[in-house]
Structure 1
Amino acid sequence: MNSHLIVTGDFVRTGGMDRANYALADYLSRTDDVVHLIGHRVDPTLEERPNVEFHRVPKVAGSYFLSAPLLNRYGQDWSRRLGAREGLTLVNGGNCLLPAVNWVHYVHAAYTPKRRGSFPRRLLQRWKIRKNERTERNALAMSKLIIVNSERTKTDLIQRLDIPEDRIRLVYYSVDLDAFYPADVGERAATREELQWSSDRKYVLFVGSPSDPRKGFETVLEAWRSLDSKAHDELTLAVFGRFEPKLEQEINAAGLGSSIQFYGLRSDLGRILRASDALVSPTRYEAYGLGVHEALCCGLPAFVSSDAGVAERYPESLSEFLLSNPADAVELTRKLQQWHAVPEANRSEWLGLANTLRSYSWDDASRIILEYSQSLC
């Protein structure tokens, strides 16, 4: 019997990194092996399995950053306790300094968030950014093998952190196949009725916090303002993510309240995607982009930055939906209006891409990671 150890923040079914680690833990827990999970949260379906041992790390003041030293210490302590063994030891980015397999979901050295607020706050943000970059570099330097989620991430590691290419392996993300699939006409109509969506309008989704500059909502809003009157009469921008109430007030004051709606955080995103017409995601940096991947698996047209990792999955026939500059609202406006003019033009290509992506499961991804780790023995 093997013994595996995974160190991450959360083993839950939301988010990109968390969902990926949940999938790997779930795959390993369905074997006869013992699985040790080090993190702050775990999905109850994992914790209740007899061969899973979850070692909860206290979350200091609700902050992942403040809790990082504890997560690192717990991971190192349990690695020493378990000693030499047959099995996978996996960390994520800079979260634990161990000579292990390192699954990189985000490269801190590839993107510097815009610092905001008072001068002391900006200094603190700068210190946190530099600390994350330093810890990331140290963890990757000692890793035995590095798993990346895209060619974009692989290139960032090679060019920005001087990681040798022969230490890197690409394993793409998958999705929950039971939640993300193209809906039939009946399901789509029923969901739209539950959401009180008009049958006369097309709904374009933005998923993420509008206040996070990396997500590109400012570009979306500027582009939306520039749409022609016909588009405003027939399109609704549906925003799903945590937002400040004052933003909705500003939208209403600007006269856009009839074509932009805010829904906050939702747990039924798969159902909402299946009922929607398109998704827009002009991200400033995206190592992969699981939210876009999920939309694609629902057969949804998705406008995404061309340098996002998920853009690698687009066939040439759909390249017109890739945004060359995520800050260029003019480009986004033009592409939205072209799509709005003929929304069903590429329907067969989107369904073909959905079928291709859905042919590869989280179990497939997890099996490949395990095979790569076994090759080190």
Structure 2
Amino acid sequence: MKLGIVTHSVIKGDGQGRVNYEIAQEAIRRGHHVTLLASQVAPELQQSEQVNWVPISVKQWPTELLRNLIFAFTSADWLHKNRTQFDLIKINGAITRASGDVNAVHFVHSSWLKFTSSKAQTNSAKTTQSRRFLYNFYQWLYTVLNASWEKEAFRRARVVVAVSSRVAEDLQAIGVAPEKIRVIVNGVDLQEFSPGNIPRSQWGLPEGVPLALFAGDIRISRKNLDTVLKALVQVPDLHLAVAGITEGSPYLQLAEDLGLSTRVHFLGLRRDVPELMKAVDFLVFPSRYEPFGLVVIEAMASGLPVITASATGAADLLTPESGIVVADSDDVEALAKAMFLLGSDRHLRQNMGQAARTIAEQHSWTNMAQHYVDLFEELKQ
């Protein structure tokens, strides 16, 4: 089979990029030829005789919106000229203006747009909006445009792959026929993310206290660090490590205003999250909207119990024995109760962490990639 994959990056250190990296590797293992229309490709894939890389350079453009537009039109132009070379084309969302046979959906912009217009979301973002009006307008415009483009992309695809049942529901809500949707859950590197113990001192974190981890983009309200901080006020013995870019984030000031400066440890953007997960006691990640949430399954693979919200797609993986799912992302009381429970019971954390690891072991990247390539081969028949 001659397979074309259109994506920005095909590398291990990127969520969507890692998905496509593993798919490409599995296709190669099965003897297929893969053409990658991408800006960045892992060196080992470039060296394969079964891989053809069509570079699309967009880094010279100043904003993500412009970069995505240039990528979309450049890739579409190339595909229009070369489409007959392929048995099947896989794309992601509205990444290209050309049609794809399989469209893998990692984010439904229409659903997030509905969230941003809700009262709860508006209230939670007031501080950010008042301080960074232009940034928030740009984010809104980016979402609106993608919401329109992706509907057309989904309509043209033969099969639309959702990364969680949550995404499948969102797709149906915007008119994608249920029979057109397949759910293939994202995977995790079970070697990179594994149970262990590392001293906290290398991050300047306190020993001998219960320590939770929050990891995500803390410049935006969607990840919901504000509710975590408000809940933390009610759990006085618990400390929180926060991994995420601090520049432009309103939450450092919020932590100070809430009197949490000594218990919240902002670590900045981290490239050592697998190691950091070996130093904490559990993950708290009640995102307001999360199609999947790789950090959830990564924590599970690391043997950590997880507190998340039903709005997070990866919440489907959790059982009552492996974590806690709160119904409402903005329910401070419910979140505080869950954080207190895990923070105060070491034995419970250990049992939940073991159960979480067992679940994660069923979702390796290889297993995920096999499902994708099985689908491709099915469609080619």
Both structures adopt the same fold (TM-score exceeding 0.5)? yes
Amino acid at match of 1:91: I
In the other structure, the counterpart of 1:108 is 109
- Of 10-19 and 141-150, deviating more is 10-19
**Long gaps (5+) in structure 1:** none
Amino acid at match of 2:341: Q
C-alpha separation in 2, matches of 1:209 and 1:292: 14
Shift of 1:120: 6.8
Q: Is the 8 A contact 1:147 1:171 kept in 2?
A: yes
Q: Is the 8 A contact 1:8 1:38 kept in 2?
A: yes
Q: Is the 8 A contact 2:305 2:352 kept in 1?
A: no
Tell me, yes or no, if structure 1 residue 327 matches structure 2 residue 330: yes
Q: Is the 8 A contact 1:191 1:271 kept in 2?
A: no
Instruction: Give the count of matched residue pairs.
Output: 364
C-alpha separation in 2, matches of 1:207 and 1:292: 10
- Of 55-64 and 308-317, deviating more is 55-64
C-alpha separation in 2, matches of 1:344 and 1:74: 55
Q: Is the 8 A contact 2:164 2:314 kept in 1?
A: yes
Cα deviation per residue 1:279-321 (whole Å; 9 max; x = unaligned)? 11110101111111100111101110123111111124446x1
Q: Matches of residues 91-106 of structure 1 in structure 2 within 5 Å? A: 91-96=91-96, 97-106=98-107
Q: SS at the partner of 1:263?
A: strand
TM-align CA RMSD: 2.5
C-alpha separation in 2, matches of 1:205 and 1:354: 17
In the other structure, the counterpart of 1:289 is 293
C-alpha separation in 2, matches of 1:347 and 1:173: 25
Q: Matches of residues 49-88 of structure 1 in structure 2 within 5 Å? A: 49-59=48-58, 60-85=60-85, 87-88=87-88
In the other structure, the counterpart of 2:189 is 176
C-alpha separation in 1, matches of 2:99 and 2:287: 32
Shift in alpha-carbon separation, 1:343–1:99, aligned structure 2, 3 A: same
Q: SS at the partner of 1:376?
A: helix
Shift of 1:134: 0.8
Shift in alpha-carbon separation, 1:318–1:367, aligned structure 2, 3 A: closer
Q: Matches of residues 190-339 of structure 1 in structure 2 within 5 Å? A: 190-228=198-236, 231=237, 235-244=238-247, 248=252, 251-252=255-256, 255-318=259-322, 321-339=324-342
Shift in alpha-carbon separation, 1:6–1:331, aligned structure 2, 3 A: same
Shift in alpha-carbon separation, 1:236–1:123, aligned structure 2, 3 A: closer
- TM-score with structure 2 length normalisation? 0.87
**Long gaps (5+) in structure 2:** 117-121
Amino acid at match of 2:40: R
Shift in alpha-carbon separation, 1:124–1:278, aligned structure 2, 3 A: closer
Tell me, yes or no, if structure 1 residue 144 matches structure 2 residue 153: no
Shift of 1:61: 2.4
- TM-score with structure 1 length normalisation? 0.88
C-alpha separation in 2, matches of 1:125 and 1:258: 32
Shift of 1:248: 4.0
Shift of 1:86: 5.6
Amino acid at match of 1:351: Q
Q: Is the 8 A contact 1:88 1:373 kept in 2?
A: yes
Amino acid at match of 2:57: P
Shift of 1:163: 1.0
Cα deviation per residue 1:128-181 (whole Å; 9 max; x = unaligned)? 32211110100000001111111111011112x111111111111111121011
Cα deviation per residue 1:348-376 (whole Å; 9 max; x = unaligned)? 34312312321332122112111112222
